[in-house]
Amino acid sequence: MNDPDTDFDPNDPGVPLDGVNPNDTPSMEDVLSEAWDKGSENEPPEGGNEPPDGGDGGEGGDPPPEGGTELQPMDAPAHWASADREMFAKQTPEAQKWLMERSNAMDAAHTQRSQEIAPIRGFMEKWDPYFRQMGADPGAAMNHVMEAEYILRTGTQAQKLDLLKQLIHDYGVEAPGEGGENAPPQDPRVDQLAQQMQELAHRNNAQAMHAQNAQMQAANNAIHSFTSAKNEDGTLAHPFFGDVQVDMERLAQADIDSGRQPDLKDLYDRACWANPTVRQKLLDMQKTADAKEARRKRHAGSSVSGAGSRRAEQRSDDLDSILSNEWDRQMAAA
């Protein structure tokens, strides 16, 4: 069903089909009476059947119809009542012609109206037994149904909800779960199975949460051990962890995505090397350590101080070589 016109007014009684009011349609008796009056006006005066001043249609008589052919008397339709046919036979040919045209027009209008109301007649024939059984007036019942249809399509949200509540109450509709004689029987096995499934879901959730917490705790412990690890001299073994932590997390996610198990030491070294600031600090620290070692050996009076210096320089060169190789490896991996 299409949405109604917004200008529709359910309280408007409407207009007759094609502007015709069925109550204004004349009856057969009215038509025959009018024809009788019309025929009486054309009857000759009493005392003779000849037309005045000439019996051959001369100057004093009525002019013949156009074309020179006089109208002939007509027979009334066979389906008319005998009294109507007798009345029709008493009319003049002119009145009979007018009467037949009027009757044919009435029949055509009646046929049109019958076709227009055929769907309504079919609906009434189908539902008339139910209306009789319910003791309901068909017109009032249809008006009630259409009012509900109109509100459900054009009313406000509050009006629609009020109407639905009223319909639920009037027709005795029960909401799901309220029971009643129409409620489906409950199988206790279904309730038991549902309870077992719920308990299993809770247990699985608890186990998954426990495993997740254990993994997080293990990761936190590993990170704490890594960040608190110290060298033999008591200095932190990984002093730049705070500077490269974000880079380590990014590298760890990349390893997981590629199917590799992340390693904290490997992540730390790669992150430090990828960070220009931290890399320079590491190089400076290594040079300082090498210089300190060289001074220590000189102060010790080593006879091989020259060789020691060469070894210190070689250590520095080795560190540069290691860092350079690590850089090449990082660039190749990228």
- The candidate with the shortest Cα–Cα distance to 154, out of 144, 166, 142, 146, is 146
pLDDT reported for residue 64: 53
Q: Is the pLDDT of residue 43 over 80?
A: no
Question: Residue 10 pLDDT > 60, yes or no?
Answer: yes
Q: What is the pLDDT of residue 269?
A: 92
Say whether pLDDT at 330 is over 90: no
What pLDDT band is residue 32 in, cutting at 50, 70 and 90?
low
Indicate if the pLDDT at residue 207 is higher than 80.
yes
The 10s digit of each residue's pLDDT in 221-231 is: 888 888 889 88
In angstroms, the CA 217 to CA 246 distance is 19
pLDDT for the residue 307: 53
pLDDT at position 191 is 81
Say which range, 121-135, 170-184, 186-200, has the weakest mean pLDDT: 170-184
Q: Which of 6-15, 62-71, 133-142 has the highest mean pLDDT?
A: 133-142
- Full DSSP string of 157-201: HHHHHHHHHHHHHHHTPPPTTS--TTSPPPPHHHHHHHHHHHHHH
Q: What letters, b where the CB count within 10 A reaches 16 and e where it falls short, cover 206-241?
A: eeeeeeeeeeeeeeeeeeeebbeeeeeeeeeebbbb
Q: Tell me how crowded residue 281 is: count the other CB atoms within 10 A of its CB.
A: 15
Q: What is the mean pLDDT of residues 49-57?
A: 44
pLDDT band per the 50, 70, 90 thresholds, residue 151: very high
d(CA 207, CA 203): 6
pLDDT tier at 254, thresholds 50, 70, 90:
very high
Q: Mention every residue, 6+ apart, whose C-beta is less than 8 A from residue 246.
A: none
Cα-based distances in Å from 87 to 32, 36, 99, 313: 7, 8, 11, 146
Band of residue 306 on the pLDDT scale cut at 50, 70, 90: low
With CA atoms as reference, report the closest residue to 38 among 91, 102, 87. 91
Residues of the chain with pLDDT > 70, as a percent, come to: 66
Rounded to whole angstroms, the Cα distance separating 98 from 35 reads: 8
Mean residue pLDDT of the chain comes to 77
Q: Which residue has the tokens 């005795």?
A: 172
Neighbour count for residue 270 (Cβ, 10 Å): 20
Judged by average pLDDT, the poorest of 17-21, 165-169, 243-247 is 17-21
Is 50 exceeded by the pLDDT of residue 60?
Answer: no
DSSP string, 249-298: HHHHHHHHHTTPPP-HHHHHHHHHHHSHHHHHHHHHHHHHHHHHHHHHHH
CA distances from 313 to 120, 188, 293, 303 (A): 111, 86, 11, 17
Higher-confidence position of 172 and 47: 172
Residue 54 has pLDDT above 50, yes or no: no
The answer on pLDDT for 324 being more than 80 is no
pLDDT at 156: 93
Instruction: Answer yes or no: is pLDDT of 332 > 70.
Output: no
Q: What pLDDT was estimated at residue 302?
A: 56
**Range with the poorest average pLDDT among 64-73, 188-197, 274-283:** 64-73
| Token reading at 334 | 């990228």
* Structure confidence at residue 15 (pLDDT): 52
Confidence of residue 294 (pLDDT cuts 50, 70, 90): confident
CB 241 within 8 A of CB 268: yes
Domain-by-domain residue ranges, the chain? 128-170, 238-334
